[in-house]
Amino acid sequence: MATRETDRTYFSETPKVYGNLIAGKWVQAHSGETFTSVNPADTKESIGIFARSDKTDVVAAVDSARAAFPAWSGTPVPARAEIILKTASILESRKEELASLMTREMGKVLEEARGDVQEAIDMAKYIAGEGRRFFGETVPSELRDKFAMLIRQPFGVVGLITPWNFPMAIPSWKTFPALVSGNTVILKPAEDTPACAAAFTQALMDAGLPAGVFNLVTGYGEEAGQPLVEDERVKMISFTGSAAVGRDVASRAGRHLKKVSLELGGKNPIVIMDDADLELALEGALWGAFGTSGQRCTAASRLIVHRGVVDEFTRRLIDRASQLRIGNGLEPTVQMGPVINREQLEKIHSYTEIGVNEGAKLLLGGKILSEPPYDRGFYYTPTIFGDANYRMRIAQEEIFGPTTVIMPVSDYDEAIRVANSVEFGLSSSIYTRDVNQAFHAIHDLEAGITYVNAPTIGAEIQLPFGGIKGTGNGHREAGTSAIREFTELKSVYIDYSGKLQRAQIDTE
């Protein structure tokens, strides 16, 4: 078995062996190599053994998707949507089973895992409805006896590369609109959560999706993801992940002039003004900073607090965060689970050291939990820095862990300057009772998402999701943008005059 230094393969029971789904069949990697997925709360528990795919497997998946495309794209859109609706029903019936699997493989607490599965269910229902609303446009022609319209058509084969932090929700954001639009799909999930991807795939198969329309290829980014990006026959790539990898994906895909949708990092601010409902702001900051152990691109990693309330807010936040119960997410009393793997654990801790060296005041946490009962998992304490300068690395760079930074400001204008000082622009939030100030913030905050009197996490599927600046390349997922992302536009002119008519010339 091929392994990496970061692989964890200590397990006592024989784990289940999974394959890729190609042309409707579960098959092992052409090379026969595998990798193991483990529980980040207890690395002695193996979730399964998975195909470690390479270019050969990706080529086979693309062959499968191309062969299936003519029949699938020729299927009426409402009929395609019916299969997505059946998938929603299947996911709904398996919600508890899928949530438990997600907690075991990814680490988020069970309540959050249920929400992740529910998001996939909601997305399936929403997109199934779009099968009856596959809108184009009709416009008047400048010429007599001529009809003009806009229609939407699929790209062909699309590649979806998804992260580990929302292993059901994010694949659903990409897969369902891609399929309803008539594309055939290859999903390459993160190597940390392949079991969740396999369960998602099985739901699609059980709903009756024809063979080859959806293909699953598991493995590492440079071995399986990169060949998917570089294959000329893949007409679009939709990627969610880090900014560094996203830039590489865009560069490689750009050589083939293929469409690329990037959803990258965030360094999201919560602005708390002196007139805010402080109890509400505390609850929002606690959930925004430490929900999913801070492993959300929308996590509230910056708390920008008016000097008039910063001392009280800081004291109360430390008290609340210090009481968070950390452990295995399957335990009902646990509020914060592990982080995903050792590499991420060490990265988070390195930022604690950076913050201390920069002169920020470590107010809480900053420790790897390694004593029993935490010694078999990847646990980090909720971490709060105070007295931070917005130029510090801990206030500028995405940490992707349970770390947040409190920065005091004197007024609204300073708060907005600090909020907008980072390269990212995904989510943002302001807590204030002043309706005028709230509406100014909606305009002034540089982000694709803005919340008023709510934290930076909690987007709903019926509105577009995405950001500006270094967060991506302007594309949006979910909501009214979902179908647009996965279709190409075709302008159609039908002249029934029986004679040559020249646009912009024969207009009289």
Specify if 207 maps to a domain.
Answer: yes
Q: Are residues 258 and 283 part of one domain?
A: no
Q: Are 33 and 124 part of one and the same domain?
A: yes
Q: The tokens 């199934």 sit on which residue?
A: 128
In a domain, 358, yes or no: yes
**Among positive and negative, which fits the CA dihedral 92, 93, 96, 100?**
negative
Residue 419 included in any domain: yes
Same domain, residue pair 242 and 368: no
**Which CATH number fits the domain that encloses residue 72?**
3.40.605.10
> Is 286 found in the same domain as 198?
no
- Encode pLDDT of 29-85 as tens digits: 999 999 999 999 999 999 999 999 999 999 999 999 999 999 999 999 999 999 999
| pLDDT digit string, tens, across residues 22-37 | 999 999 999 999 999 9
Strand extents, DSSP E, 124-182: 137-140, 146-154, 157-161
| Together in a domain, 260 and 398 | no
Radius of gyration over alpha carbons of the chain, in Å? Answer: 24
- Write out the two tokens for 343: 């590499």
Residues 483 and 425 in one domain: no
Q: Which residues, in sequence order, are CB contacts of 209 under 8 Å at separation 6+?
A: 83, 87, 179
Task: Classify residue 9: in a domain, yes or no.
Answer: no
Q: Provide the angle, in degrees to the nearest 10, between the axes of the packed helices 110-130 and 77-93.
A: 160
- Percentage of the chain modeled with pLDDT above 90: 95
Q: What amino acid occupies position 252?
A: R
CATH number at residue 403: 3.40.309.10
Q: Is the pLDDT of residue 347 over 90?
A: yes
The domain total for the chain is 2
Q: Give yes or no: residues 216 and 302 share one domain.
A: no
Confidence of residue 13 (pLDDT cuts 50, 70, 90): low
Q: Domain check: are 246 and 323 in the same one?
A: no
Q: In this structure, is residue 221 part of a structural domain?
A: yes
Q: Is residue 457 part of a domain?
A: no
Query: Whole-model pTM?
Result: 0.94
- What's the Cα-to-Cα distance from 156 to each of 64, 159, 213, 236, 335, rounded to whole Å? 12, 10, 10, 8, 43
pLDDT tens digits for range 461-500 = 999 999 999 999 989 999 989 999 999 999 999 999 999 9
Query: Same domain for 44 and 185?
Result: yes
**Neighbour order of strands in the sheet with 300-306:** 361-364, 383-386, 403-409, 300-306, 268-272, 427-431, 449-452
Q: Nearest Cα to 82, choosing from 201, 218, 204, 186? A: 204
253 plus 110 within the same structural domain? yes
**pLDDT tens digit sequence for 409-463:** 999 999 999 999 999 999 999 999 999 999 999 999 999 999 999 999 999 999 9
Query: Rounded CA gap, 422 and 419, in Å?
Result: 7
CB atoms under 10 Å from CB of 287, counted, come to 18
Element (H, E) at 343: helix 342-358
**Where in the sequence is the domain holding 412, given as residue range(s)?**
268-452
430 and 300 part of one domain: yes
User: Based on the domain organization, do 415 and 288 belong to the same domain?
Assistant: yes
Is 498 domain-assigned? no
Residue 29 near residue 197 (C-beta atoms within 8 A) = no
Is the residue at 6 inside a domain? Answer: no
Q: Which residues are catalytic?
A: 263, 297
